[in-house]
Amino acid sequence: MKKAIFFHAGLPVCLSAKQEILNLIPDDRIEVIHLGEEKGKIAEAERAGVQSIPALLTPNGHVLHINFGTRIADLK
């Protein structure tokens, strides 16, 4: 089965989202690409529709752009 791909660039917000996603999606269903370290894959990500990171490219070819929200509790 085709895997989902989580694209990120190593920023703290990306790493937080990455960990949350990897906690939820089984390892064998997702791969992670660090676009800062694998710059050759930036064009691939763009072709897939990735406009911002972190983003999750699903096996169906759709891109879920993720905004890592701030909890209200964290604002207090």
* Chain positions contacting a second copy, by CB under 8 A: 4, 16-17, 20-21, 23-26, 29-30, 46-51, 55, 58-73
Minimum distance of a second copy from residue 10's CB (angstroms): 18
Largest CA-CA distance found in the chain, in angstroms, rounded: 44
Minimum distance of a second copy from residue 42's CB (angstroms): 14
Minimum distance of a second copy from residue 36's CB (angstroms): 20
* Dist CA 29 CA 59 (whole Å): 9
